[in-house]
Amino acid sequence: MVPSPILPAAPPGCGGRAHERQLPCPPRGSAEAVNCFDCAGLGQTAGAVAVCADCGAGVCPDHAQVTARWLTRTAVINRTVVVEPPARTIRCRLCQQARDAAG
């Protein structure tokens, strides 16, 4: 087999595999690269599916704590009315425990 005469060199810091398929490098810090912060603390690696609303840590499905956040609107004569559906707040386990402890 005759090797291809010119192979474009991958830029430094890039794995180069994307270039074999003529794809651009994934950007640094892209969502694919985010791992669960709590799993990392346990010496494990799990892909993050969400970001803690309080501390910004990436969280995997096991560590994501989802709570409903009821929004309100002001109706006629300053009456506050709950609106549906409730919004969603995702926190890491630590931030949720801190919220619960604070009441």
Minimum distance of Zn ion from residue 68's CB (angstroms): 18
Report if residue 95 touches Zn ion, rule: CB under 5 A.
yes
How far is 103 from 94, CA to CA, in rounded Å?
Answer: 14
* Helix, strand, coil fractions of the chain, as percent rounded to 5: 25, 25, 50
CB of 88 to Zn ion, least distance (A): 15
The CB-of-54 to Zn ion minimum distance in angstroms stands at: 5
Q: Which of residues 23-62 bind Zn ion (CB under 5 A)?
A: 36, 38-39, 46, 52, 54-55, 57, 60, 62
Distance of CA 16 to the CA centre of its chain: 25
